[in-house]
Amino acid sequence: MQQTVKALLEVDSEQRMEEYLGLRWYERAPAGEERLESRNGYYVRDYVTPWGTLRFRVRRTRLRAFLPRMLRAFARRAPEVAELIRQAFLRGIPTRAVGRHLELIITDGCRGLAAALQTVYPQALQQRCWVHKMRNLCQAVRRRDHERVKSAAQQISRAPSLAEARQAFARFKCNWQTIYPALVRHLEKDLPELLNFFQFPRHLWKKLRTTNPSADGPMVVFTNVGSVDRIIYAIFHRFNEDWQNHTLELSTQKG
């Protein structure tokens, strides 16, 4: 995707310059025609997208440069990225904590997402969501075995240490291998990613076991009154967006 978007940006920049000059690459002006403009190479521009930071070439002449049509002047990041930053800020994730929030990425087991993360964030640990995994385990067994399978799996996820979690899985495998061999095989395959949360401080384990979002403390210092006004407006604007298509419960209650 990065290479495709990069190629599109560079092609569009080239086309804009050709339209401006009236000449394609390697074409020469008709004999006797005076040219006031000519190609002057390119400069390199970075642009942050949902697929990572792209570095592409912007064509230019002696007098001007030709940004791709899909980019706004001076824009350094895609609107989706800018919105992600805004929402993270409004939900209380401080700037210095963003890096720490990308140390572990929690997924629900989607193979496409897992493959994409290997490309985009190859150094980030992937934690499989225990809530989703527990649901899958219960769906794969008979109803009469739900509680026992769930309890045995919880002994793995809630173990006080990595070693004890592995011991709990060994017991799980011993008890259920004969009845549900496929279930045990899949759990064993996913176990390393299910136990990655043990690599982090103990007080984070509960949050890291699931895909439920977490946030650090909110910003508590403002530079001036104008910054307060902007934040308050942004918060209420988000509330308006959230409530636009949802009826408020209090407004529907009868007196």
Of 30 and 205, which is predicted with more confidence?
205
Residue 92 CA to residue 89 CA, distance in Å, equals 5
Residue 13 CA to residue 36 CA, distance in Å, equals 20
| Position 184 pLDDT exceeds 90 | yes
Angle, vertex CA 37, rays to CA 35 and CA 40, nearest 5: 130
Q: Give pTM, 2 decimals.
A: 0.46
Supply 62's token pair. 């002696």
Lowest mean pLDDT among 54-63, 67-76, 176-185, 201-210: 67-76
| Position 245 pLDDT exceeds 50 | yes
Residue 164 CA to residue 155 CA, distance in Å, equals 9
| 51, 1 Cβ separation under 8 angstroms | yes
| Position 101 pLDDT exceeds 70 | no
Considering 92-106, 112-126, 155-169, the range whose residues carry the highest mean pLDDT is 155-169
- Under the banding of pLDDT at 50, 70 and 90, the label for residue 73 is confident
- In the chain, the amino acid numbered 192 is P
- Under the banding of pLDDT at 50, 70 and 90, the label for residue 217 is very low
The count of other CB atoms within 10 Å of the CB of residue 239 is 10
Which pLDDT score is estimated for 158?
Answer: 93
* Residue that the structure tokens 């104008």 belong to: 226
- In the chain, the amino acid numbered 202 is R
